[in-house]
Structure formats: structure tokens, C-alpha cells
């Protein structure tokens, strides 16, 4: 008899939320997507409205139910992969204390981080936490910012929750986080798997406002009557704790065993290695999260500007394509942009693009690094601008790959996940620039969703382990390096690194400019 039971997995990303229907064997059945906005009040303030996430869950769920016609009684569990380092303050009644909250890339808490490291060794802190992003990105410093800048709000805080944990609270009325999300708090000891009282005390924060930690696959609770009515699902549906996006994507990208690697190509992008031990190096600062699987870590190098910068190129340089897409004249603006890239030669007629629109990650010379085109002439075309953007993103990820290769040498093949993996021309560009085989599977953009669904399937007892993920992935394409192209890109690569150096200097000067 066919098993009709289903799981809904949510990929709560920075650009919107995707609800995906899975059967209990891990097969994807349908998707729906709801977009929401990010608000930029200056270079340092990157905010979203948690109510948008909640409404996104409601709308995407109802949309999914309507388009599939599935019986709501067949839904047995919900699970969320959530974007990292968000800090949602709620009062004792569960009410939001701020309409817009800082997301992962928000860096307003620079002073709070500086104050913290006056009495705490930065190196010791990193070696305990593995928090390799600029420190001000991490949750504890954003909480300190609330304390220092919005004291009335701070006094009312009952709990500070991450993105998916706030949504879980709206679903169940219960406040928990998991080990993967807690590992981005700035006060979590990777080796002891717990919050560090020493760092919490140094931050001047009460430990009581941090949520208790449970396993990623653990059941938080069942739907409240209110959530049941809003979603159109029975109140018996169980809500799994879920995980941070980095770790859910690692799980969904077959990162279930020591030594496996993958590249995530999304708004921001990272190259990750799964290991039984975290990769901790204060010089290069790989960023580490606990894996959703007990006993594993995901260690990565990243760039903050990838798909978000390419989206900017679409929205600003190729804005007419959005209008054509809206009017139904073209199906997808990105497909047209891929065709434009094919009309520009390798190197985009000697045009270089530094993509660092969202600031610098830890391996760049300055967090204030800026983006820009270098080498523009009157002879350049829009095709060149688009190609240079894609090449610039890929070159930056090549540098991230080179750093990670110091710790895991000999990587000759890479699984590409995330939205960008759908582009054949981008996969070939990766193969040529990385000089390695690039693998695309049927999962591509759904790795985080699959990871969240896997947690539910395991947590609800449908799976005995995660080995089934290897069989769910089917290889769709393998891009192999074209050595003629690789030779050209190897000549261009040092120029891209040089441009990155000068864009870091320029960004530093602009940041210090008092105008």
C-alpha cells in the first residue's frame, strides 16, 4: 500500500521562503515560493520583518496545498532551514519587540564587538566558537547593540530567537533552538556543544534570554490551534526543530560523512567541508557551524556577495529584462542573461568585476571592500558587463577554494548546489576556473529543503539514518574543465586578486571619509 504521508520543508532564505512537499522517502513532490524584502538603511543596517517570514509560511503552505490538492491530514511534519545570525526579540507574551530585525549580514554592532574584545582574546574566542565571519555579524553582538542603543526594548526581552526558531515559536508556542543555529550565537563552544557562561558574562547579557538547545531532528511541539487554522493543517502536525541554512544545505547536499565537500551558490556563497573535527585557523578564519548530524561539523570559506550581486546586475543593468519577464515576453531574465554571457568572450573583453557589494568576508583585506567594474571602455557591451559579473563571482569563490584546499588538499570534484547550479554556462565557468569537475544533481536548488525534510523524516522515525540521501541524488550533468579556457583564466586570476586588493583599500578610504 502506498505511503501517503508527507512532510513540508521550508527554505527560509534572505530573498524569500520556499515551501516544498516531500514524501517520507525524501522525494520532492511540489514547491511554492513567497518573496519578501530586505531593508537597507545605510551600509551597515540589513533588516527584515519577521512578520514577513510568518506570512510567507502561511501563504506558501496554503499555496502548496491548493496546487497539489493533497489532503491536509496526510501532512505529518514541518521542518525549517533558516538563514543564520538573525536576532528576533520577543517579550514574555511572545510579541515582537521590533518590526525589523538585523539579519546575518548586518554589521551595526562593530562597537559592541570592539568593546567585547577589550577583555576577551579574539583568537581564543574564534578557536572556541569557530565564528569566522566579521564578529559584529554574530548574534551576541547584535543583542549587545539592542542593550546599548534601545534600552527600553532590551528591558522587555524574554527571548532572542533566530529566524527559523521564531517561526517555530509561531507554529508551536515553544522557544527552542538547535545546535547548528546556536553555534552561530557568538557564545557557543564547538567542542563542548554548549553556551559558554564566560562569554555570556563578558557580553553583559543574561543567559536566560537565549533559547534552550535541542537536536535538529527533535520535535519542538505540535501546531497551536491558531497556527493550525492559519495554515490549513491539523493541530496534530509535528514541528521539527530544523537547522541553520549552512548545515541543512550540507545535509541535503550529501554532506553526511567526513571529508565530503560542496559549493553553495546562492545570495551569498560558500565552499564547505564536512568533518569530524572543525577546521579552526585564526589566520584564515574558516567559519564553522555544528552539523545537523551529531558528531560532524561544516567548515567553510565564503563570499558575502554572489547571487545577490548578480541579482543587482539583473535589476539595475538589465532592468528591461524584468519588465519583459513581467509582461510575459520572456520566461526568465536569468536565462536571457546566460545567453548574453555566451556572446562575450572569456575575460569579457578584459573587463574585471569585483562583486563585493555586501562587504568583505574574513579572507578579504577589509570588511569595507567595495564592488566595481575595472577596465571599462567605450567599446564594452552589456554582454561584457554581465559576463564580467559572473566571472568575478567565480574568481572570488576560486580564492575561497584555494584557502580551503590548504586544509583538505586533493579535491578534484565538487558538487554545486543552490540556485546558480541550474546555469550550464556557470557550471562550465566553475569547471574552467577551478580546474576540476563540477557535478550537478537533480537536487541543485533544493539542497536546504531536502536537508530540512531529512531531519523531519529521521526525527519522526521514517528513516533510521541519512544514507538514503545518496540514493536520492541523481547526477544530471558533469562539467569538465576545458584546458584552453583554464589557461586563459589562470592568467586572469592574479589580476582579479590585485583588483580585490585595491577595492579593499578604496573601500577603507571611503568608510573613513567624513562627508
Residue 304's pLDDT is: 87
What ranges make up the beta strands (E) of 108-253? 159-161, 176-178, 188-189, 194-195, 212-214, 219-222, 238-240, 243-244
- Assess if residue 200 is contained within a domain: yes
- Assess if residue 60 is contained within a domain: yes
pLDDT by 10-residue block (mean), the chain, 515 residues: 84 95 97 95 92 99 97 98 98 97 95 98 98 96 98 98 99 99 99 98 98 99 99 99 97 95 90 96 95 97 92 97 95 97 98 92 83 98 99 96 90 91 96 97 94 99 98 97 98 97 94 86
Per-residue three-class SS string for 399-447:
HHHHHHHCCCCCCCEEEEECHHHHCHHHHHHHHHHHCCEEEEECCHHHH
- Assess if residue 146 is contained within a domain: yes
- Assess if residue 121 is contained within a domain: yes
Report how many domains make up the chain. Answer: 1
Residue 2's pLDDT is: 54
CATH number at residue 114: 3.30.420.40
Q: Report d(CA 171, CA 467) in Å as an integer.
A: 29
Q: Report d(CA 128, CA 429) in Å as an integer.
A: 37
User: Do the beta carbons of residue 305 and residue 355 sit within 8 Å?
Assistant: yes
Pairing outcome for strands 212-214 and 243-244: unpaired
> Model-level pTM?
0.91
Phi then psi for residue 509, to 5 deg, are -65, -40
Residue 395's pLDDT is: 98
- Assess if residue 39 is contained within a domain: yes
- Tell me the β-bridge partners of 352: 374
Residue 41's pLDDT is: 87
- Assess if residue 461 is contained within a domain: no
What percent of the residues of the chain are helix, what percent strand, and what percent coil, each to the nearest 5?
Answer: 40, 20, 35
- Assess if residue 147 is contained within a domain: yes
Nearest to 188 by CA among 154, 213, 217: 213
Q: Report d(CA 195, CA 217) in Å as an integer.
A: 20
Residue 444's pLDDT is: 86
Phi then psi for residue 438, to 5 deg, are -115, 125
Q: Is the dihedral angle over the CA atoms 208, 213, 214, 220 positive or is it negative?
A: positive
Per-residue cell: 127: 578557536
| Domain boundaries, position 148 | 6-253
Amino acid at each position: 500500500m502506498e505511503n501517503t504521508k508527507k512532510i513540508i520543508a521550508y527554505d527560509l532564505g534572505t530573498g524569500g521562503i520556499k515551501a516544498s512537499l516531500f514524501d517520507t522517502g525524501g522525494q520532492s513532490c511540489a514547491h511554492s515560493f513567497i518573496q519578501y524584502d530586505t531593508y537597507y538603511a545605510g551600509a551597515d543596517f540589513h533588516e527584515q520583518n519577521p512578520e514577513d517570514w510568518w506570512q510567507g509560511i502561511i501563504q506558501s503552505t496554503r499555496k502548496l496545498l491548493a496546487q497539489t490538492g493533497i489532503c491536509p491530514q496526510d501532512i505529518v511534519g514541518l521542518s525549517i532551514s533558516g538563514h543564520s545570525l538573525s536576532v528576533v526579540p520577543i517579550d514574555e507574551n511572545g510579541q515582537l519587540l521590533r518590526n525589523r530585525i538585523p539579519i546575518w549580514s548586518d554589521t551595526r554592532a562593530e562597537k559592541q564587538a570592539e568593546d567585547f574584545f577589550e577583555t576577551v582574546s579574539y583568537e581564543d574566542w574564534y578557536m572556541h566558537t569557530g565564528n569566522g565571519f566579521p564578529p559584529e555579524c554574530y548574534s551576541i553582538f547584535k543583542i549587545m547593540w539592542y542593550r546599548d542603543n534601545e534600552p527600553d526594548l532590551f528591558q522587555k526581552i524574554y527571548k532572542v530567537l533566530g529566524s527559523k526558531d521564531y517561526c517555530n515559536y509561531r507554529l508551536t508556542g515553544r522557544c527552542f533552538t538547535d545546535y547548528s543555529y546556536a553555534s552561530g550565537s557568538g557564545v557557543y563552544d564547538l567542542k563542548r556543544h554548549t553556551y559558554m557562561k564566560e562569554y555570556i558574562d563578558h557580553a553583559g547579557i543574561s543567559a536566560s534570554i537565549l533559547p534552550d538547545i535541542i537536536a535538529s531532528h527533535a520535535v519542538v511541539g505540535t501546531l497551536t490551534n491558531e497556527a493550525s487554522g492559519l495554515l490549513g493543517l491539523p493541530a496534530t502536525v509535528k514541528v521539527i526543530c530544523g537547522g541553520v541554512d549552512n548545515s541543512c544545505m550540507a545535509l541535503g547536499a550529501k554532506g553526511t560523512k567526513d571529508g565530503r565537500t560542496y559549493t553553495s551558490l546562492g545570495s551569498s556563497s560558500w565552499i564547505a567541508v564536512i568533518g569530524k573535527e572543525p577546521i579552526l585557523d585564526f589566520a584564515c578564519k574558516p567559519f564553522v557551524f555544528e552539523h545537523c548530524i551529531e558528531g560532524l561539523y561544516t567548515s567553510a570559506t565564503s563570499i558575502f556577495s554572489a547571487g545577490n550581486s548578480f541579482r543587482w546586475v539583473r535589476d539595475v543593468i538589465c532592468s528591461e529584462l524584468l519588465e519583459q519577464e513581467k509582461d510575459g515576453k520572456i520566461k526568465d531574465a536569468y536565462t536571457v542573461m546566460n545567453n548574453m554571457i555566451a556572446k562575450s568572450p572569456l575575460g569579457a573583453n578584459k573587463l574585471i568585476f569585483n562583486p563585493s557589494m555586501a562587504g568583505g568576508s574574513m579572507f578579504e583585506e577589509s570588511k569595507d571592500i567595495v564592488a566595481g567594474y575595472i577596465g571599462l571602455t567605450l567599446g564594452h557591451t552589456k554582454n561584457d558587463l554581465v559576463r564580467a559579473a559572473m566571472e568575478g563571482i567565480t574568481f572570488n569563490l576560486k580564492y575561497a577554494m584555494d584557502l580551503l584546499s590548504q586544509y583538505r588538499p586533493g579535491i578534484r570534484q565538487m558538487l554545486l548546489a543552490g540556485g546558480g547550479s541550474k546555469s550550464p554556462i556557470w557550471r562550465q565557468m566553475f569547471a574552467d576556473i577551478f580546474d576540476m569537475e563540477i557535478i550537478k544533481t537533480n537536487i541543485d536548488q533544493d539542497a536546504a529543503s531536502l536537508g530540512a525534510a531529512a531531519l523531519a523524516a529521521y526525527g519522526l522515525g521514517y528513516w533510521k539514518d541519512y544514507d538514503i540521501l545518496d540514493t536520492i541524488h541523481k547526477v544530471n550533468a558533469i562539467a569538465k574543465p576545458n584546458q584552453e579556457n583554464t589557461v586563459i583564466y589562470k592568467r586572469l586570476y592574479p589580476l582579479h586578486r590585485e583588483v580585490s586588493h585595491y577595492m579593499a583599500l578604496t573601500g577603507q578610504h571611503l568608510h573613513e571619509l567624513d562627508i
